[in-house]
Structure 1
Amino acid sequence: MSVINLEHLFSPKSIAVIGATNEPTNPGNIIMRNIMGGGFMGPVMPVSQNIEAISGVLTYPGIAKLPKAPDLAIVSRPVTEAPDIIAQLRAIGARAVMLIGGFQGMDMDERMKLRNEILEAAESPSMRVLGPKCLGFMAPGINLNASLAHATIPPGKTAFISQSDSLFTAVLDWARGQGIGFSHMVALGARVDVNISDVLDYLAGDPLTRSILLYVESVCDARDFMSAARAASRNKPVLVIRPGQAMETVLRECRDVGLEGMKLSDEIYDVAFRRAGMLRVDTIDGLFDAARTLADIKPVRGNRLAIVTNGVSAGILAADALLMGGGSLARLSDDTKAKVDDILGGKWSRSNPVDIPFNASGKEYADLVRVLLKDKGVDAVLTMHVPFAGLDEEEVAQALADSLKRVRRMVFACWLGLGKAERARDIFRNAGVPTYDTPDKAIRAYLYMVEFRRNQEMLMETPDSLPTDFFPDTMAARDIVEHALADGRDTLSEPEAKNVLAAYGIPVVETRLAVSARDAVIAADELGYPVALKLRSPQIAQPYDVGGVLLDLETPEQVWEGAANILGRVSRERPDAYIEGFTVQKMGRRPGAHELFVSSSTDPVFGPIMYFGHGGMSREIIMDRAVALPPLSMSLARELISRTRISRLLKGTPGMVAADLDDICLTLIQVSQLLIDLPQILRLDINPLYADELGVLALTARITIVPYEGDGARRLAIRPYPRELEECVVLNDGTKITIRPIRPEDEPAHREFLASLSDDDLRLRFFGVVRREFDHKDLAGFTQIDYDREMAFIAQQQKEQGEAETIGVSRTITRSDNSEAEFAIVVRSDLKRMGLGSMLFKKSIDYTRERGTSKLVGQTMMENQGMQGLARKFGFEISTDPEDSQLVNMELHLADQG
C-alpha cells in the first residue's frame, strides 16, 4: 500500500498515449479524443509508428523518441506487450502507467506470470500501474478525461472509486443527469498494483475531495483496506455500495490476482464497513442522496425526528417510512406543544407529525422549526410541503431557507411536486439545506445520517476499560493446542477445548472422557451427580440426532444403563460409525438461563471472524446472529450483542431478571483475545453458552486447529494492541515506570496529561498557542490509533492511590508505504532531565527501524534547543527549514543505523 507517485497518475502534468490510432472504435483513439476534448492543458504525446497525427496532435514513432518523460503513460496495446513497454517508459523516467488491455483468453497461470512480469518491470512504487483491463479515470479539476467513458463531468467535491467498469459508466450517466460533479472518478481494473486502499489514501489527503464514494466487490488485502478506510473515515465521509448475496461467488477481480476459489460473505463485508466508520448504502440513488447530505452535514444527535407538514397524509407517509427504517418519532414536550399552540392558534393535532394549515407561510414554518429544535427530545426536523394553488411555494421556501442560515442543527426539506416545487428545492440547495422530492427519499437520507453518526461514534468511541484481573494463561492454552497438533489431530477433545477456554477465564462445565460404560461410571462418580452423557464419534457431528445424549443421570446404574442404550441405538442406526466412547460432564443447572452461542471461523481475506447470537438446539432455525471482527473492546462487544434479537431479552422482562451483560461482553473479549494469541485455531464453537444474572457458563465447546507459522497478528484485518511492545524501565531518580503503546481507554489519563503540560510545553509541541481544552474528538485522535500506521508510546507511573498517570508520550506517524515516519515527543515539565525523553525517543527509533521504515523525520521550533540536542544524541541530521527560518528539520536514515 503506497501513495508514492500517485500524484503523477491522478494529477499528471504531461501524458503519453502508447498505441494511439485514428480508428474511431479503437481504445487508443477514444482515449486521445477524450483527453483532447476535455481541455487538458499539459502536453499530450501520442506514440504511433504508422500515423503522422492523431486528434490533431503530431505523433512520435517510439517511446525513446518522446521529447520528455511523461508523468502518465496510457497504454492501448495488448497486455502481453506491457512488461516491455513499461520497461521502456521507466528507462526514460515515467512515473505512472495505465493499462487498458485485459487478460482475455489467459488461464490463471498465464495471468499470474504476466502480472509478476508487469510488477517486475515497473518496480512499483517507482512506477505505479493502474489496471490492466482498466476503463480509466477522470480528474475534472484539471480537465482530464483519461477514460474510455462516453461523456465528461464537471468538477465537484465528491470522489468515486469503482471496481466495476459498468457501474463507472452508470454512475457517470446518473450524476450528469443530476448535475453532480466529481473531484475524481477512478475505475481500478484488475488491480495488479494500484488498489482501492492506495486510492483511498490518496483521496483522504486530497483537499479538493470532501466525500468519497466506493463501489466494492472484493477486497484482497483486508489489513490494508481496513487501515486505509479507517484513516479516510476519520477525515471525511466515506460511503460504500456493494452487491450482497450475488457476490457470494468467486469474483472476477480476485481471480485476476490469483485468489480463485475464495468464498466471500456479505455479512463480513458489512461489519468491516461499519467497523471502518463507513456508511453502506443499497442503491446508486441512495449513494448520492447520502453523499449530498453528508457533505454539508449538521449535527444529528440521534434518531428522534420531528416532522412539520402542511399535508397530513404526506406526513404520515414520512412517519411510516421512519418507523419502518428503525427511526423514532420525537415526543414533544408540554412546553413545546404550548409554544406550537401560540404559533398555530391551537389548530393542530398536538402530536408529531405537526400538521399545519395548508396555506402556512414561510414565517410560520421558520417559527415552528425554531421551537422544535429547542426541544431536548428532538434530534432533527423534517419540513414538508405539498402544493397549494393559492400559495407561492418559492416564497415559503426562501423565507424558511433564510431562517435556517443561523441554525446549527439538522433541518432538511421535502417539497413535493414539480414546477415551482423544483425551483423551491433549488432555493434550499443553494442555501445548503438538504432537500428531497419524496418522503421516502427524505427519510432514507435521514436514516443514513443517523447510521453514519452511529458508525463514526463507534470509530471514535472510548471503550470501557477491561477488567484488571483478566490475565489469560496463554502458555497453558498454547501447550494444549501444540500437543494436539504433535499428535496429528486437527480437533481438540471436548475436555481440551474447555481447558483452553478456562485458561482464558471463561467458566466451563467440568468434563471427562470415557472409552467405556465402566469408565463413564467412574468419571460420573468423580464429577458428582447429576451428569450428562454424550456419545463420541468422528462420524456423528451432532449426537442429539441419533439419541446419543442423555441428561440428568443421577446414579451409577443410570449411567451404566444409559451408556449401553446409546451404544445399542447407534449400532442399529449408524453401523458405519466408529465409537470413540463418551463424554461425561456435570449438569450445568441454570434454570431460566438464556442459551447463547459464541463461535469463530477463519475467512481467507479478513482472517478470524466472530459470531454471537441465540444458541442451543434451535440455533440454525432461529438464525439470530451478528458478526464482528476481532479485536474487541467492551464497547464493541456490547455493540455486537445489540445487533441480535435476543439482546432485548437479555435486558430482562417482567418475568425474568436481566442477564449479566458485562459478563457476556467479557466472554466475547476473552474469545477475541484467544483468537489473537492462538493463530492455530481455525474454528471455535461454544454452544450453548448459558447466560443469566449470575454470569455465563459454557456447556459445550469445539475447537478445530491447523499448524500455523509466522506472525499470528498479521492474519487479523485490524491489528490488535501490540502487548509485546510493553516494557518496564527505571528513571534516573529510581522511579519505576511502564512504557507501552497507547490504548483507546487511556483517553481520561491522556486528558489529564495534556492538562498538566505547561503553556510552553504545549506551544513547543504544537508550534504555537493552543487552547487548553481538548474535546473528545481530539483525544480520540490521540488515543485511538491504527497500530499499522501510527504508534504512540506513553510512559506511565503509579499514583499513590494506585491509578496510573501518563507522564510522557512519543508518537510516530508512518507513511502508508513505510518509506518515512514523522515523530513528536512531549514530556511533563517537572520530569525533564530524568532520562524519560531519551527512553521514549529510543523506543520510537527502535520500533520504526524494526518495522523496516527507511527514514525518521521531525520538525521543531528553532528555540527548542532541548529537542535538537536530543536528536543530535541519536544521530539525526539537523537543518533549518528552507521555507520557515523559525523551524528546524531533523532527519535520521534508519537503514544507515542498522
Structure 2
Amino acid sequence: MSIRHLDALFAPASVAVFGASQRPSSVGATVWRNLHRNFPGRLYPVNPKHAALDGVKVYANVADLPEAPDLAVICTPATTVVPLIQALGERGTRAAIVVTAGLDKATRQAMLDAAKVHTLRILGPNCIGLLVPHLGLNASFAHIGALPGDLAFVSQSGALVTAMLDWAGSRGIGFSNFVSLGERADVDFGDMLDYLGSDPKTRAILLYIESVDESHKFMSAARAAARNKPVIVVKAGRSAAGQAAAASHTGALAGSDAVFDAAIARAGMLRVDTLHDLFLAAETLSRFRDGPSGPLIVLTNGGGAGVMAADAAAAEGVPLAVLDDALRARLDAVLPANWSHANPVDIIGDAPAERYVAALEALSHDTANAVLFIHAPTAIVPSSEIAQAMLPQVTAAPRRVLGCWLGDGAVAQARQTFRQAGVPDYNTPEEAVRAFNFLRTYRLHQEELLETPPARSAAHAPDLPAIRTIVSAVLADGRELLTEPEAKALLGAAGLPVVPTRVVGASADAAQAAADALGYPVVVKILSHAISHKSDVGGVRLNIGSASELREVCTSMLVRVRELRPDADVQGFTVQPMVRKKHAHELIIGASVDPVFGPVILFGAGGTAVEVLADRALSLPPLNTPLALAQIQRTRIAKLLKGYRDEPAADIDAIAQVLVSVSQLLADVPELAELDINPLLVNHEGAVALDARVRVSASQPAGAANFAIRPYPAELIETWDWQGQSVTLRPIRPEDEPQHRAFLEKLDPEDIRLRVFYSRRSIEHSELARLTQIDYAREMAFIATRHIEGDGEETLGTVRATVDPDNHTAEFGVIVRSDLKGSGLGHRLMDKMIEHLRARGTQRLVGTVLRINRGMLELAHHLGFQESHNPIDPDDYHTRFVSLDLQTDT
C-alpha cells in the first residue's frame, strides 16, 4: 500500500512521450496532441524517426533527453516496454503510463521487476491514460478532454473512460482527476484511493470496478478514504453465479457480488447501479453529506408533484415525517386554509415568494428532518425570484434542504441559483428521493465503518482444545464434511446453543432406546459422511410421537436412502428431542470463504426453502454486537422478528450473539471452510440450533489472518505501572477521537511545532478521523491512557508508525503531553512500537526530527538510533534523520 511517487504521475513538471508522432489515428499522435495543446510543463517527444513535432525537438531515446522526465508515457510496441522502463528507472524517472497493450505474462512481470528496482510507478499497461484538468495535463489518447472540477473518476474500463468524458462534458460535469487503470499491473484501486483520499482538490471519488484482486489492500485504502470523503462505486457483475458446487446453503447463497456489497458497506462506501446514479449520489453526498437523513418532509407548490414524491418514497423505503400538532399550527399560521395539512406540504400553486419563505421557516424548527423542496413554474411569480428569496434559509447551517425545480427553461435560473449556493438539485421528484435514499444508505455504511471489533469477543471464551480435537480428527480421517453430531459438538464448544443429539447405529432398536431416554416427540435423521443435505433423500423425519412410529420411520428411511444413494455408507441415525417453540422463526446463520474477500458471514430466513426465499444479508468479520444487529436489519425477516399483532418480538440479542460467536469461530479456526446453522430456531425466549453442517479444509482458508478487515488487535493491550499509577498501553480506536482532541489541546504550541505528527493545535474532524481510525496492518498507533475517577479515560501520549508496502521501513512519530515530558512515558511508548514492529518483521524504523528538538534526538540515541543528514534533502540544515535496524542481533 503506497502513494510513493504518485505525485510524479499526477503533478509532473516534465513529461516524455515515447512513440510520439503525427501519423493519423495513431495512439502516439493522439497522446502527443493532447499533451501539446495544454500542458504547461516541459514536454519531450521521443521517436528516432522524427527530428521535430509541432516545432518541438524530438529525441531519439532516453539517454538523449536533457533531463529525467517526471512522467513517461509509453505508446511503443510491447517488445520495447521493458527496455524503456529499465532505462527510465536508471535515469531517475519515477512514474510511467504504459498505454501499450498486448504484454504477455512474462513481459508484464519483467516490466514490474525493472520498475521495482527504482520504485518507478506504472499506470497500465493497456490503459487510456489519465487527465488532471486543473493542471492542463491530458496524458491520454481520449478523443475529448475533461472539464476542471472536484470529482475524481477512476475506471477499470478504458471504453467507459471515453464514453464518460463525452457524457460528462455535455452536462458540464468537471473532474479533479480522471484515470484509466488498464490492467493494474502496479497502480491499482488501492493506490488511487490512498492518493485521492488525501487530495484537497477532490471532494468525492467515483469508481467503476469490474474486479478486485488484493482485497486487504483495497479494503484498507477504501476505509481510509471513506473516512475523509464520499467514495461511490459502480461495479459490473451483479448477476454473477454463486458457488454451485458448495456443500452448504451458505456457500451457494454467498455469491461474490453479494460479498462485494458487504465489503462496500463495511468500508463506508456507497454502491449504485448506474453511471447516472454515480453522479446523482456524488451530487448528494458531496453537498449534503452532513445534512439530516431522518424522515423526509416534502414542500411543494403542486399536489401532483407531492404525490409523485410520496410514491417514490414508498418505493425506496424512505419514511415521510408525520407532522405533529405544533408543526401543523405553525404552518396554519402562514399558509392558506386549503393547504394539504399533511406531508407532502402543498402550499398551493398561487404561492408568492413570501409564502415559500414562511413555510420553510415554519419547517426549520424541526432540525431532525430533511426538506425536499419541489417547485413547478407558474405565472404568479418567476421561479428565479423564489430561489433568491429562499437562499438565506437553504444555505443556512446545518444544511437541510434539497431542491427539485420541475421544468427546463423557466426554472433554469432558479436551478442555477441553488446549485451555485451548494444546494443539491434534482430534475424530478423520483430522482430526488432516490438520491436521498443514497444518503440514508451511506450513513448506515459510515456507522459500520466506525466499528473496529476485535477478532475475539470478550463475552465468552470458546473451548478451543475441544474444537481443535474435532477438526483434527475429521481431517485425519480424510474427510472435510463433519457429521451432524460432530458439527453440533463443535458449535457447542464454541458456545452456541444446540439441541441435544444422540448418535446410534443403523437399527430401529438403537434409535428407540435413544428416543425413550430423550422422551417423545423426537426427530430422527440419517447419519452418513456422504450425505450433506439429508432432507433431499428423505433422511429427516420430524415430530415422531411413539416407539412404533419411530421403528416404522427408521426402517422406511433406510430403504429410501439406500435406493436414492446406494453409494453412501450409512453409519446410523441421530435422535434429538422435537423442539417446539411458540412464536418461533426459522433462520439461517452461516459462513463461507470468498475467493477475493475471504471469510464472510450470512444471516437470513432459514428452513428448507432458504434458496427460494433468498432473504439474506452478508457481512465481513470481525463482528461485534452493533455490526451483527445491523446485518440482521438488512433482511426482510427482521420486520417479523420485531413482533406484530399478538406475535412477541424475537430475542434479537440472542441472534446477534450467535453471529458474533460465528465470527469468533472463523477467527479461531483457520480450517473452517463452510458453516450452516439451518434452522436456527428463535423466539422471544432465545435461540437454538436444530441442524448444522460444517466443512473444514486443511488449506486453512479462514482465520483472522485471512479477514479482509484487520480486527482490532486486542492482544496488544497491556498495563504498566508508571509512577505508582496503572497506565494502559493499547492500540488507538475510532472512539478515541474526543479524548485525542482533548490530548492535542493540552499540548504546548512549541511541542506541536517540534513534532512530525501535527502542525497546528486545532485539528479538523477529518484529520482526527485519519489519526484515530487506522488500519492496523499498514499503520499502528499506540496510546498511553489512565483512568480518571468519574471522568473516564485520558490520553497521556501516543506513538505512531506507518509501514511501507514491503514491510521494510516504518516511519515513526511520538508525542507526550507537555506537562509529562521527561517522565519516561515517551521511552516506554517507543519501546512498545519497536517491540511490535520487530514482531511483524519490519526491517527498519526511521524518523525525521527537527535539529532543535534535542529531547527527541537524545531519546533516539538512547534507543539505539543512528543519526544522519536528511537523505531526501542533504542540504536541509534544520532536520536530522534517525534510523534503527530492527532485525539485527543485539
- TM-score normalised by length of structure 2: 0.90
Secondary structure at 2:288 match in 1: coil
Q: Name whichever of 625-634 and 555-564 sits farther off.
A: 555-564
1:540-551 paired onto structure 2 within 5 Å: 540-551=531-542
Cα deviation 1:52-110 (Å, max 9, x = unaligned): 22343221122222221111111112223321221122222221121122238xxxxxx
Does structure 1 residue 352 correspond to structure 2 residue 357? no
1:108 aligns with none
2:386 aligns with 396
Q: 1:831 to 1:45 in 2, by over 3 A?
A: closer
2:171 aligns with 178
| Conserved? CA contact 1:131–1:188, under 8 Å | yes
Paired residue type of 1:172: L
Secondary structure at 1:212 match in 2: strand
Paired residue type of 2:798: S
Q: 1:74 to 1:853 in 2, by over 3 A?
A: same
1:510 aligns with 500
2:30 aligns with 30
| Conserved? CA contact 2:415–2:425, under 8 Å | yes
| Conserved? CA contact 1:729–1:738, under 8 Å | yes
Decide which of 109, 115, 131 is 1:116's aligned counterpart.
Answer: 109
2:570 aligns with 579
Decide which of 442, 445, 464 is 1:455's aligned counterpart.
Answer: 445
1:16 aligns with 16
| Conserved? CA contact 1:880–1:887, under 8 Å | no
In 1, Cα distance between equivalents of 2:394 and 2:647: 48
Q: 1:541 to 1:703 in 2, by over 3 A?
A: closer
1:842 aligns with 831
In 2, Cα distance between equivalents of 1:66 and 1:458: 52
1:661-672 paired onto structure 2 within 5 Å: 661-672=652-663
Q: Name whichever of 520-529 and 826-835 sits farther off.
A: 826-835
| Conserved? CA contact 1:300–1:410, under 8 Å | yes
Secondary structure at 1:329 match in 2: coil
Does structure 1 residue 435 correspond to structure 2 residue 428? no
2:143 aligns with 150
1:493 aligns with 483
Q: Name whichever of 822-831 and 497-506 sits farther off.
A: 822-831
Measured after TM superposition, the shift of residue 842 of structure 1 is: 0.9
2:83 aligns with 84
Cα deviation 1:438-496 (Å, max 9, x = unaligned): 22222222222222223223323587999744112223212321222122211222222
Q: 1:232 to 1:757 in 2, by over 3 A?
A: closer
1:190 aligns with 183
Q: Name whichever of 405-414 and 673-682 sits farther off.
A: 405-414
| Conserved? CA contact 2:205–2:229, under 8 Å | yes
Paired residue type of 1:438: T
Secondary structure at 1:582 match in 2: strand
Measured after TM superposition, the shift of residue 865 of structure 1 is: 6.4
1:356-755 paired onto structure 2 within 5 Å: 356-376=347-367, 378-460=368-450, 468-517=458-507, 518-524=509-515, 527=518, 530-553=521-544, 559-708=550-699, 712-727=703-718, 730-731=721-722, 733=724, 739-743=729-733, 747=736
Q: 1:889 to 1:172 in 2, by over 3 A?
A: same
Secondary structure at 2:431 match in 1: helix
Does structure 1 residue 870 correspond to structure 2 residue 863? no
Q: Name whichever of 306-315 and 491-500 sits farther off.
A: 491-500
Q: Name whichever of 783-792 and 806-815 sits farther off.
A: 806-815
Q: 1:264 to 1:150 in 2, by over 3 A?
A: farther
In 2, Cα distance between equivalents of 1:797 and 1:207: 36
| Conserved? CA contact 2:786–2:796, under 8 Å | no
Measured after TM superposition, the shift of residue 117 of structure 1 is: 1.2
Does structure 1 residue 224 correspond to structure 2 residue 213? no
Decide which of 298, 310, 325 is 1:319's aligned counterpart.
Answer: 310
Does structure 1 residue 287 correspond to structure 2 residue 275? no
In 2, Cα distance between equivalents of 1:805 and 1:356: 52
Q: Name whichever of 863-872 and 78-87 sits farther off.
A: 863-872
In 2, Cα distance between equivalents of 1:740 and 1:431: 45
- TM-score normalised by length of structure 1: 0.89
Q: 1:125 to 1:815 in 2, by over 3 A?
A: farther
| Conserved? CA contact 1:460–1:780, under 8 Å | no
Q: 1:525 to 1:816 in 2, by over 3 A?
A: farther
Percent identity of equivalent pairs: 44
Cα deviation 1:756-813 (Å, max 9, x = unaligned): 8993579846868857xx9998876665432123323345678999x99566553424
| Conserved? CA contact 1:332–1:375, under 8 Å | no
| Conserved? CA contact 1:461–1:780, under 8 Å | no
Measured after TM superposition, the shift of residue 203 of structure 1 is: 0.9
Q: 1:667 to 1:783 in 2, by over 3 A?
A: farther
Does structure 1 residue 810 correspond to structure 2 residue 805? no
In 2, Cα distance between equivalents of 1:472 and 1:763: 50
Cα deviation 1:348-395 (Å, max 9, x = unaligned): 12111111232322232122112212125x511122211213422222
| Conserved? CA contact 1:298–1:410, under 8 Å | no
| Conserved? CA contact 2:239–2:257, under 8 Å | no
Measured after TM superposition, the shift of residue 10 of structure 1 is: 1.8
1:872-891 paired onto structure 2 within 5 Å: 872-876=861-865, 891=882
2:840 aligns with 851
In 1, Cα distance between equivalents of 2:378 and 2:305: 14
1:73 aligns with 72
Secondary structure at 1:63 match in 2: coil
Secondary structure at 2:227 match in 1: helix
Alignment root-mean-square deviation, CA: 3.4
Q: 1:652 to 1:434 in 2, by over 3 A?
A: same
Decide which of 213, 227, 233 is 1:234's aligned counterpart.
Answer: 227
Paired residue type of 2:42: P
